[in-house]
Amino acid sequence: MKRSSIPVVRRRGRRGSALIELSISFLGFMMLMFGVFDFSWAVYAQTFCYAEAQDAVRWASVRGSESSSPATANDIQTYVRSQAVGLTKSSITVTSCWFTAGTSTGCPGPNGNNSPGSNVQVTVSYPISPLSGVAIRTGFTVSATANTVINN
């Protein structure tokens, strides 16, 4: 068996240093992991808002005033919230606007022109609150808007 090249006196002074180094390294690693979790959560929520705004506007575009079941603002909100996975459904905000063809300024409200050829716009937003506060210090809201022409 080979003996250590460090004298016994010096080895005694190094006892416990590996534990301290490990704890400092582990703390840094955990901070990094919580930062990744926070960032990933925000990216997931943003992706959800974007995808659901697109999906909801497509859903509403085929449920115009001439459809057997025309879409209302409450229908669109219910549809978007039913698609949520891993998010607090009651925190999802959905705003729907219907515009006359050729205009898209100022939301006339949820009871706008829902006839074919008009535009429907859906905005989906979700508040982000950090899980750990390492990467993201304060909460903020992510949102996405989609707009299309009503077909039916």
Q: What is the mean pLDDT of each run of 10 residues along the chain (152 residues)?
A: 62 71 91 88 95 96 88 93 94 91 66 82 93 80 94 81
pTM over 0.75: yes
Q: How many domains does the chain have?
A: 1
Separation CA 49–CA 144 (nearest Å)? 6
Determine, yes or no, domain membership for 56. yes
Determine, yes or no, domain membership for 3. no
Cβ atoms of residues 137 and 111 within 8 Å = no
Cβ atoms of residues 123 and 94 within 8 Å = yes
Structural domain of residue 25, as residue ranges? 8-149
Q: Which residues of 100-136 are buried (b: 16+ CB within 10 A; e: fewer)?
A: eeeeeeeeeeeebbbeeebbbbbbbbbebebeeebbb
47: Cβ contacts below 8 Å, ≥ 6 apart:
none
